[in-house]
Amino acid sequence: MNTNTPPREIAPGLVVQGISTPLHLSNYKLLACDMDSTLIGIECVDEIAAAVGRKAEVAAITEAAMQGRISDYKESLRQRVALLEGVTAEQLEAIYTERLRLNPGAERLMQVLHEAGVTTLLVSGGFTFFSDRVKARLGMRFARSNVLQLRGGRLTGRMVDQVWGDICDGAEKRRAMLELASLMGIGAAQTMAMGDGANDLPMMGAAGLSVAWHAKPAVRAQASVAINEGGLDRLLEVFAPLGA
């Protein structure tokens, strides 16, 4: 992220720093995007906790982690997941159908990016139960998130290790983005990263264009683009019209 120039508001609720607009979307080939509180309007771990009467307790840990007040994200997630023991698969399904909603502009943003040939990657400290479905709904190409362990139709309070590692934290989000960029044969300068919390900063710091959406203050301060009002598709406002 280049933050050498002071922030400037180029439209109401849309702030840029360290870049000259308009940018050209053809210069970017990959978007890595957070899920909870970015693509969707909830923090899934908090909603699952509500099913066992522990939402306030878990939400407090989530907020501290997103604000950057907890340095060990993996441990904070393990603590929260441990409190989810006993939640049923049926309760998870109800959260998806009744509580999970795409944030405004998500569908339009992904449609335009895909039509422009941009590959999209969902990277989340949340869970595959939700992220795999969100990926499919938005037509995103790849996803990486955490697997909740189910036994007898109930959560055990643990996560399942995957071939790439144990937990998708900030470092893993960054690694996944750069790994995919390498496989695509593109450089970091051709990547974009979008998120709202402290665990998105590593990938945002490595990306050619970093985007904060309705984000925590520390994230807004370090982003090339901060969308403080309106939908996710406001990112398109920093680019020249396609074909221009």
Active-site residue list: 34, 36
Please report which residue ranges of 10-54 form alpha helices under DSSP H: 44-50
Residues 47, 100: Cα–Cα separation, whole Å: 9
Show Cβ contacts of residue 146 under 8 Å, excluding neighbours closer than 6 positions: 77, 124, 125, 126, 127, 128, 159, 167, 168
Please give the backbone phi and psi of residue 228, each rounded to the nearest 5 degrees, phi first. -100, -15
Which residues partner with 129 through β-bridges? Answer: none
Residues 179, 46: Cα–Cα separation, whole Å: 30
| Secondary structure (DSSP) of 107-123 | HHHHHHHHHTT-EEEEE
Cis peptide before 202 (omega within 30 of 0): no
